[in-house]
Chains A and B, each alone.
Chain A
Amino acid sequence: MTIIQNISDTLSGKIVKPSESLVHKTTHLMQDGMKARAFGEYEKPKALGDARWTDELILSTWYMAETGEVPDNLNFKTGKSDGGFDRLDFQFLPESDWLEHSEAIDTKLPLNRRGDKKNKIEIDIPWYGGGMSYGSVSVNVMMSRAKNAKQWNSFMSTGEGGYPPELYEVKENVITQVATGYFGVEEETIQAAPIIEFKYAQGAKPGLGGHLLAAKAGEEVAKLRGSVPFVSLFSPFPFHSTYSVEDHSKHLDWIETVNPKAILSVKVSTPHDVDMVAVGSYYAGAHIIHLDGGYGGTGAAPEIAKKNIAMPIELAIPKVHKFLQKEGVRDKVTIIASGGVRTADDIAKAIALGADGCVLGTTDLVGMGCTRCSNCEGGPSGRGCPWGLTTTDIELQEWVQQDWGAKRLDNLYTAMQWRLRDILRKLGLSNVRELRGRTDLLRYIGKEADE
């Protein structure tokens, strides 16, 4: 009977929770394949990569996630986008002046600089995981990221899709996001989090709000969002209760009432007046100003928005950094940059341009197998990511197992921290905080270098 059922389900294409054997077979094939590619056992897939995430960047990320080390024979530092991070490099000291390997290099980053009575939070690495909502990704992916965040004394944001109960296990490392649809925002989830993130806008679709397609809003997703299964869900733009910085301040006060200890992050995209937005957020009470640049990741966004609206993060960071300096408040607020930050080199460059730290999203996904195929929104199958990442499909989500995912990310972060320290060592800095705003340590590589 089971055999007949199996055959008929398979042949009819009916999607059922996969058997243990099927999960075993599939995950092994996928993982072995990734490993073989990362180790260069086969030529690079011809269709892999794009200007921002080249084939070598993807494969080197797989390599780091596999081994915890940076590769020798792949470019793990830059893409080929012909601008921004990809045209910046470091001006290292002569080798004789590099710090010794034995010297401890501190990568810690304090997130609360206001000197108030709220949580004094310091993370071990100057980056944390950006918001990916339940619905856009599975619980397995969320838990992989959250477990890794715990391992690294860092954080991962829920995104706007609710707070799956599993997350309470690692709540000390989870940021609750409050976004315009208020999905999953409850007293309990606000009280659980050491950091609350207000998402005003997202770099990949600034000013446009969000849209979870019906196919991805399954039973569980709908339950957590207080909605009806398989009905599209919109996060409008903007907060319909915010018309001014004063209204924004009211939002932050509201959180303070519910969770007086939580520190507050304000996530904005990068319009022309991003500097004014940042200073307004600071005066409204934000501890973290999270700038999300135009080339950032997304589960789904109009192509026209990704390419055209708002500025890339590399161009926004110095603008905000310098403006806050002029206002005399730069040391009272943490600037976190995201939206196209891919590698340890990008993180170091972002910090040298004036950020304190970064948020990673796509990098985590690539670490767990993403090939940047851009089908996260569902693709023609409507089921979401074939690699089991940006999907809640009952079969596909099983391709990412929590412990495997967490281990991949742990390895990846190990290699990235090593590389960050390597950069600092070659710049003669024993502390990542000393790198902030040091544009004198950067150099721009013009087109002539390509010839």
Chain B
Amino acid sequence: MLESSTHVGLQDTNGPLSIDRFGAESARIGREIADGYHRYHIETEEVDDADPLPHRFLVKVGKVGLAKLIAKEMVTYFPQFDVILSRPCTYGVFSGPVGGFSPRPKLCVGCLRCEVQHPDFVKVLPNPDLLALGDSYTTHGHIAAIDEEAKKGIVPVRGQGYRGRFGGPGFDGMLTDMSEIVRPSRDGIHGRELIGTAVDIGSKPMHLSFDSNGKLSGSTPEMFTIQVPFIFDLPPGDLGSPQLVKVVDSTSSRIDTLACLDAHTVARLGLDAPNVVPVLDNTEASRASEFPNARLIELRSSPGRSWGWDAAGFEIANAVTDAMIGIRIHFEEGWQNRLTQAVESGVKVIHLLADLHGCGSDGTFVTELFKEAHMLLIEQGRRDTVTLFGGGGIVGADHVPKAIISGLDAVALDLPVLFALQGRSNGSLRHRENVSGTLPVQLDRDWAEQRLTNLCGSWRDQLLEILGAMGIREVRRLRGEFGRSMVVKHLEDEAFEGIAGYVGGDC
């Protein structure tokens, strides 16, 4: 995380070093270190909307009612214009050129003062166009949150308490823990300023071996580091347009993470680079040699074939490139065997995939699936020799730490990219291959890159909030820390045990 100047020594001096000279040299060294100091940070910047979401509320004002009110107030309060002209909205909805006769609903925050004060002629309604966005899993709430995060790049903060349901399915059924007194650091205001979010990709030996001369003899770590525990995954469905691919590529480079992109597209657009992970079909494994700059190449089953482990493909790819070869494994029947076989064959990066509602083919949710994969590797004594990526159902900032707690090293983002760029989806968002969406017609590259960067900055900062509350100083330590989470169902079983009618597992 800290990239300080690595070599700042005394410059050659002619003759003995005087006190004055020593002072000047010390100052110079200090300056150089300070100038060379760089702490990882994602530069966010608020950007305008290209295709704004439908606003949250519709504001309807009866013109006759309003006219009558104004007339009445003119008579009652003349000449007190502060009273006559005062209106209930402090957000400017009625402050346009003709006031309430033409309200500006995009400014409405739903405080309802106008409707309560003037029940005869004002109505504020939730906007059905907003409510219709997304699908049953990726709701309008997720989309609106992503939109705000991508616009502003900050942690969404609001007043009042939680408004949603108690616990819930999927990620909502998991809570994260906190500590009353332990901090990641006593430095900074809240101690979270020094938390690290870097993760290592690749393989570490489970132990080091030395020969009789004390020299390392066994395998050594084979890995590289990215600065955030999330990567961009292959754009699902019809989203992989060259425009979007270029934005994902440049953003991943900017924030120092990875972008999994279709290998043909990478080749066609000339995107081969260390931040890009070309994804090849198994049958094309020999083409791995075409991406000399890649640090990681992923293999997937060829279209039309079941998701089998293809040892031959892996070996071919390994033979033609120095990049690490990762394997994409879908949570379909038998995935555990495929995972084991792949790891036994030396695969160092496994990319696990659920559907976009976060479920495996048997309906199990990813928190359980990631946990099973993580535990399987632990039981085999191999966990640190493999990096686990995972994706499917990650559509909120809280899903990142929860997936890591479940056992992942890093999380793969898919749909959030579409919504960060103010795209719209059509129909169900469950199956990757069927996802259909549209991006704003004028997709300015800089605008889009900043939006995606903002989203990453916001999600990273929210991850810091979670880690800070736990008192954990780096995200690597969160992996598989089930004890840092609480499962609502388990807590309910403990709390409500013995209460009439409580049968447990009612979740």
Residues of A within 8 A of B (CB): 3, 6-7, 9-11, 13, 16, 18-19, 21-22, 25-26, 29-30, 33-34, 36-37, 41-42, 45-48, 50-53, 81-84, 86-88, 91, 200-201, 204, 206-209, 211, 234, 236-240, 242-244, 248, 268-269, 271-272, 277, 294-312, 314-319, 339-340, 353, 362, 370-381, 383, 385-387, 390, 396, 439-440, 442-447
Q: Is the CB of A444 within 8 A of B501?
A: yes
CA distance A381 to B112 in the complex (A): 15
| Given the contacts A46-B126, A302-B462, A307-B162, A268 and B180 also touching, CB distance less than 8 Å | yes
Q: Is the CB of A82 within 8 A of B161?
A: no
CA distance A306 to B165 in the complex (A): 12
Give chain A nearest CB distance to B433 CB in angstroms.
Answer: 31
Q: Is the CB of A380 within 8 A of B501?
A: no
CA distance A201 to B160 in the complex (A): 16
Q: Is the CB of A207 within 8 A of B164?
A: no
Contacts of B156 in A (CB 8 A): 302-304
| Given the contacts A9-B82, A81-B165, A238-B183, A308 and B501 also touching, CB distance less than 8 Å | no
Please tell me which stretch of B22-30, B215-223, B240-248, B487-495 contacts chain A, meaning at least 4 of its Cβ atoms lie within 8 angstroms of it: B487-495
Residue of B nearest to A22 (CB): B83
CA distance A33 to B112 in the complex (A): 11
**Can you spell out 20 A-B residue pairs with CB atoms less than 8 angstroms apart?**
A18-B82, A25-B86, A26-B88, A206-B178, A271-B180, A295-B161, A300-B158, A303-B145, A303-B157, A309-B466, A311-B486, A311-B488, A373-B110, A374-B159, A375-B111, A375-B159, A376-B158, A390-B159, A439-B499, A442-B500
Contacts of B159 in A (CB 8 A): 298-301, 374-379, 385, 390
- Number of B interface residues, CB 8 Å? 85
Q: Is the CB of B88 within 8 A of A301?
A: no
Contacts of B160 in A (CB 8 A): 297-298, 362, 370, 372-374, 376
Q: Is the CB of A47 within 8 A of B465?
A: no
Q: Is the CB of A375 within 8 A of B398?
A: no
Q: Is the CB of A50 within 8 A of B116?
A: no
Residue of B nearest to A48 (CB): B112
Contacts of B495 in A (CB 8 A): 314-319, 353
The residue in B123, B161, B190, B468 that gathers the most chain A C-beta atoms within 10 A of its C-beta is B161
Give chain B nearest CB distance to A350 CB in angstroms.
Answer: 12
Please tell me which stretch of B10-18, B89-97, B226-234, B256-264 contacts chain A, meaning at least 4 of its Cβ atoms lie within 8 angstroms of it: B89-97
Residue of B nearest to A270 (CB): B178
Interface residues of B in 102-160 (CB under 8 A from A): 107, 109-113, 115-119, 123-126, 145, 155-160
Q: Does B503 contact A (CB under 8 A)?
A: yes
CA distance A19 to B162 in the complex (A): 36
Q: Is the CB of A305 within 8 A of B183?
A: no
Contacts of A299 in B (CB 8 A): 159
Q: Is the CB of A7 within 8 A of B81?
A: yes
CA distance A22 to B302 in the complex (A): 73
CA distance A305 to B506 in the complex (A): 24
Q: Is the CB of A444 within 8 A of B496?
A: yes
Q: Is the CB of B189 within 8 A of A234?
A: yes
CA distance A271 to B180 in the complex (A): 8
Q: Is the CB of B118 within 8 A of A33?
A: yes
Q: What 1/0 mask marks residues of chain B from 350 to 365 whose CB sits below 8 Å from any chain A CB?
A: 0000000000000000
| Given the contacts A30-B117, A46-B125, A242-B181, A443 and B500 also touching, CB distance less than 8 Å | yes
**Which of B83, B163, B466, B502 is in CB contact (< 8 Å) with A308?**
B466
Q: Is the CB of B116 within 8 A of A30?
A: yes
Q: Is the CB of A209 within 8 A of B158?
A: no
Q: Is the CB of B189 within 8 A of A209?
A: yes
Give chain B nearest CB distance to A33 CB in angstroms.
Answer: 4
**Which of B73, B111, B468 is in CB contact (< 8 Å) with A371?**
B111
Contacts of B465 in A (CB 8 A): 208, 302, 304-305
Instruction: Label chain A's interface by main secondary structure.
Output: loop
| Given the contacts A47-B126, A50-B163, A304-B465, A271 and B177 also touching, CB distance less than 8 Å | yes
Give chain B nearest CB distance to A279 CB in angstroms.
Answer: 13
Instruction: Label chain B's interface by main secondary structure.
Output: loop
Residue of A nearest to B57 (CB): A47
Q: Is the CB of B190 within 8 A of A208?
A: yes
CA distance A84 to B161 in the complex (A): 16
CA distance A22 to B73 in the complex (A): 11
| Given the contacts A309-B175, A309-B178, A380-B107, A45 and B501 also touching, CB distance less than 8 Å | no
Contacts of A372 in B (CB 8 A): 160, 163
Contacts of B111 in A (CB 8 A): 371, 373, 375, 379, 385-387
Contacts of B57 in A (CB 8 A): 47
Give chain A nearest CB distance to B356 CB in angstroms.
Answer: 21
| Given the contacts A19-B80, A294-B162, A208 and B468 also touching, CB distance less than 8 Å | yes
CA distance A37 to B80 in the complex (A): 29
Q: Does B85 contact A (CB under 8 A)?
A: yes
**Which of B163, B178, B506 is in CB contact (< 8 Å) with A52?**
B163
Contacts of B81 in A (CB 8 A): 3, 6-7, 10
Known: A304-B156, A371-B111, A375-B159. 18 other contacts (CB 8 A): A3-B81, A6-B82, A30-B117, A42-B119, A91-B500, A244-B181, A302-B465, A304-B155, A308-B175, A315-B491, A370-B160, A371-B112, A373-B110, A373-B111, A379-B90, A380-B91, A386-B91, A444-B506
**Which of B80, B116, B172 is in CB contact (< 8 Å) with A6?**
B80
Q: Is the CB of A271 within 8 A of B80?
A: no
Contacts of B494 in A (CB 8 A): 315, 318-319
Residue of B nearest to A15 (CB): B90
Q: Is the CB of B118 within 8 A of A386?
A: no
Q: Is the CB of B161 within 8 A of A298?
A: yes
| Given the contacts A52-B164, A304-B155, A272 and B486 also touching, CB distance less than 8 Å | yes
Q: Is the CB of B183 within 8 A of A237?
A: yes
Q: Does B195 contact A (CB under 8 A)?
A: no
**Which of B90, B166, B174 is in CB contact (< 8 Å) with A82?**
B166
Give chain B nearest CB distance to A45 CB in angstroms.
Answer: 5
The residue in A37, A315, A371 that gathers the most chain B C-beta atoms within 10 A of its C-beta is A315
Give chain B nearest CB distance to A1 CB in angstroms.
Answer: 12
Interface residues of B in 441-457 (CB under 8 A from A): none
Contacts of B163 in A (CB 8 A): 50-53, 372, 374
Residue of A nearest to B183 (CB): A238
Q: Does B470 contact A (CB under 8 A)?
A: yes
CA distance A124 to B109 in the complex (A): 39
Give chain A nearest CB distance to B151 CB in angstroms.
Answer: 13
Give chain B nearest CB distance to A343 CB in angstroms.
Answer: 14
Give chain B nearest CB distance to A283 CB in angstroms.
Answer: 15
CA distance A29 to B73 in the complex (A): 12
Interface residues of B in 472-494 (CB under 8 A from A): 483, 486, 488, 491-492, 494
Contacts of B117 in A (CB 8 A): 29-30, 33
Contacts of A296 in B (CB 8 A): 161
Give chain A nearest CB distance to B15 CB in angstroms.
Answer: 49
The 7 A-B residue pairs with the shortest CB-CB distance in the complex, in nearest-first order:
A376-B159, A83-B166, A207-B469, A50-B163, A207-B178, A444-B502, A33-B116
Give chain A nearest CB distance to B180 CB in angstroms.
Answer: 5
Contacts of B466 in A (CB 8 A): 304, 308-309
Residue of A nearest to B156 (CB): A303
CA distance A84 to B111 in the complex (A): 27
Q: Is the CB of A21 within 8 A of B80?
A: yes
Q: What 1/0 mask marks residues of chain B from 165 to 179 whose CB sits below 8 Å from any chain A CB?
A: 111100010111111
The residue in B73, B77, B498, B506 that gathers the most chain A C-beta atoms within 10 A of its C-beta is B506
Q: Does B288 contact A (CB under 8 A)?
A: no
CA distance A81 to B163 in the complex (A): 9
Give chain A nearest CB distance to B226 CB in angstroms.
Answer: 22
Contacts of B500 in A (CB 8 A): 91, 440, 442-444
Q: Is the CB of B119 within 8 A of A375?
A: no
CA distance A29 to B88 in the complex (A): 9
Contacts of A305 in B (CB 8 A): 465, 469
CA distance A374 to B164 in the complex (A): 13
Q: Is the CB of B90 within 8 A of A396?
A: yes
